[in-house]
Amino acid sequence: MPGALLATTLLAMLLASCGGGSGGASPASIPATTPAPTPAPTNCSVRIDADASIEAGKTAGATALACSGTLADVTWTQVSGPVVNLLAARSQTVAFEPGVAGTVRLRADVRLADGSAASATADIAVSAAPAGSYVTLRADHSVRPETNTSVRAWPMLIGGDTVRDIVWTQVSGPIVTMDTANNKLLMFKTPTTTVDTVLRFRAVMTTGSGRQDQDEVSVGVEAQPAKPNYYLFDSTQRVHPYRSAGVYTGALARCVYDIGLYYETSAKNNVCSVGTLPLLQAEAGPGAVPSVAQIMGRVLVSHDFLGANFEQFLLTQDTHGDFRRLLAGVTAIVLGSHVRPSYYTYGTGAIYLDANNLWLTPDQRDVVTEVPDYRLAFADGLNYSAFGRQVKNNDYARRSFPSTDRISRSTEELVLEIGRLLYHELAHASDFFPATQRTLNPALPIYDNVAGRIDSGALASDALTTQYPLQSVEMKALGQVLFQGAVVTEAQKAYTAFDVGGFFGADVASDDYAYSSSREDLAMLFEEFMMSYRHGVQYDIAFTNVYTEGMTAPQVIVGWGQRGRIAEAAIKPRIKLVLARIAPWIDLAAVDSLPAPILMKVGASWDANLVLAPSVGASARPVQPSILRAGSASAPRPGRDDLKLRDRR
């Protein structure tokens, strides 16, 4: 790599993004009592900070803390008591919801940074469930310093009672700034710390009948070394190999998700060589398609269920082998509860995927952060909003999953979640390492294997820009505002939805995210084509009046919109170029068979533009799911569900 890279420049270039304590109830006020911290025993290696007691039905938590130094590995097991589910058994903090009374004994077995082993146990007494309405906080968890995280309050209401108010306070630990604008959701950024510590918060709920109940939650903050100069990662989280006996198990975390990784120049870096962690293609063999077993040997997870769900998805939903072929171009897959947004980086050759795309049950969803993508704020000040959705037969292809509901979903439904995301992030990977460029120099870091092609403009995304460039000066500038954080200008503040639709509609991008960079231009084309070609799903895009919190879809008025834009005649050659370069097994003739694009009705609501043409088949509307299927695709949706930046890669 010629020259030195500034840390911030390198980071920007490398990233292609895309439970509570004891509670009680009373009819009046609840005295705030702060338990004294448990002193560390003399000569201890590890100690546990845990709830002493909990009511059945509420969330209990326990955190393993290093008495000094850091914990390299943690494994929680239940020793005795009523059986509970430990979803975060490899995290420093574990949470569970006991269903019956008893005493739950937990054991934490740890390996310290110096390689020594230790263990500790904790007992949590479980009493009978509350007799009336109560609140539980989901869920206790651990994160690293300077990480944005969240905890949700779940009111459990009896006899038609309602919530009058929920008030949050911090009980212990270094003071943080709490965001409780939504009183059912606590969000905050963890403090910098050099030792393992615990933050504890309390939520007091008052119901319409005057009943009060409280619950507490603990968030562990894991000590970790400071970032070096020329760092690759702003932050990381604790992850572990999903397969403990994989060929490259020992190299995964230190090579692709370590806060200590840095790259200054080709001569000054500590990034792993390709020989230490090669592309999956090298393990599968030249031209071969990796097996699911080989892929799972490259997976790092924050929670084991993420690996299990990902594996089941590959086994049952990758019927054409597209994902396995594309995964041959990566070194590893990181699945994390606090990865947001998802991204690919050629600094490590790995993809990093947001766990929100992989949960199947409410308990699994509880561990996933609700902190929004930081880029949401970039649209502040603009006079329009961008909306998008996935559509099939004039209806939503994807169900709505409100964060306030306890919803489950099937592996099949993950096609619209992790499937869409994989097409996008793996398009990035194949842009840098297509099938024809996967024979690498094992002595060099992966970046040094592609730096020459980047510098010479030899990537597929470069060819796309050269042969079929985006033209709109206005959209290019808006792309830097929306996705890169550039300051919005007065002229841009004056643009209406109609104006922006005019800029966009006259150009050859399939999505406004294409104006973030040429790399995103390519990835959006590939994602949208594959979702249409393989799954019959079309994408809607629209520019509307400014959305404000609480608006419903009928209140969102379209200034310009289109369905299936990738089938525009001027866009088809761009898709063919992308497919030829990164997915040569796809017949290019398929591009000419895409469903014709349809313009939306300007001046009509976003909701009214859902049905744009007769559906495939005999009936004008598809067969509807039963109302017993919670969160059905056709159920009324809040307007915010379709804000494009809420679901951005």
For the chain, report the end-to-end CA distance as a whole number of angstroms.
28
Cα separation values, 307 from 243, 332, 359, 413, 521, Å: 9, 13, 10, 17, 29
Band of the pLDDT at 416, cuts 50, 70, 90? very high
Cα→Cα distances 70→21, 67, 73, 112, Å: 25, 8, 9, 6
125 forms beta bridges with 53, 103
Banded pLDDT at 15 (limits 50, 70, 90): low
Q: How far apart are CA 108 and CA 44, in angstroms?
A: 14
pLDDT for 585 equals 98
Cβ atoms within 10 A of the Cβ of 179, count? Answer: 15
pLDDT above 60: residue 19: no
601: which DSSP letter?
-
pLDDT digits (tens, 9 = 90+) for 40-57: 555 789 999 999 999 999
Radius of gyration in angstroms for the set of CA atoms belonging to the chain, rounded to a whole number? 25
pLDDT score recorded for residue 43: 72
Alpha carbons 474 and 485: distance in angstroms, whole number: 16
- Encode pLDDT of 134-145 as tens digits: 999 999 999 999
- Ordered alpha helix ranges (H), 288-385: 292-296, 304-317, 322-327, 362-366
Q: Are 110 and 117 in contact (CB under 8 A)?
A: yes
Domains plus CATH for the chain?
A: 46-221 (2.60.40.10), 226-371 (no CATH), 375-647 (no CATH)
**Mean pLDDT, range 594-608, rounded to an integer:** 97
CA distance 260 to 270: 8
Q: Which of 367-381, 569-583, 614-628 reaches the highest mean pLDDT?
A: 569-583
Tokens of 204: 């007091």
Q: Residue range 528-534: average pLDDT?
A: 98
**Kind and range of the H or E run holding 122:** strand 117-127
Distances from the Cα of 221 to the Cαs of 94, 115, 174, 196, 496, in angstroms? 13, 21, 10, 6, 45
The answer to whether the beta carbons of residues 426 and 434 sit under 8 Å apart is no
Residue (of 539, 543, 540, 541) closest to 526 by Cα position: 539
Rounded Cα distance, 573 and 463, in Å: 12
pLDDT tens, position by position, 287-302: 999 999 999 999 999 9
Q: Please name which of 461, 542, 469 lies closest in space to residue 504, comparing C-alpha atoms.
A: 542
Confidence of residue 596 (pLDDT cuts 50, 70, 90): very high
Q: Per residue in 449-504, pLDDT tens?
A: 999 999 999 999 999 999 999 999 999 999 999 999 999 999 999 999 999 999 99
Question: For residue 376, what pLDDT is reported?
Answer: 77
The residues that bridge with 333 in the sheet, in sequence order, are 299, 351
| Neighbour order of strands in the sheet with 385-392 | 395-396, 385-392, 538-544, 558-563, 598-599
d(CA 354, CA 418) in angstroms, rounded, equals 9
- Distant-in-sequence, close-in-space partners of 43: CB < 8 Å, separation ≥ 6: none
Task: Provide the pLDDT confidence category of residue 646 given band limits of 50, 70 and 90.
Answer: very low
Tokens of 232: 């690759």
Q: How sure is the predictor about 166, in pLDDT bands with cuts at 50, 70 and 90?
A: very high
DSSP 513-563: GGGS-HHHHHHHHHHHHHHHHHH--EEEEEEESPP-TT-BGGG-BEEEEEE
Identify residue 448 by its one-letter amino acid code: D
Q: In this model, does residue 512 exceed pLDDT 50?
A: yes
pLDDT of residue 350: 98
- Write down the H helix ranges in 27-71: none
Range 64-88 average pLDDT: 96
Residue 244 tokens, joined: 């403990």
Q: What pLDDT is recorded for position 614?
A: 58
Give me the phi and psi of 137, to 5 degrees please.
-105, 125
Question: With 90 as the cut, is the pLDDT of residue 434 above it?
Answer: yes
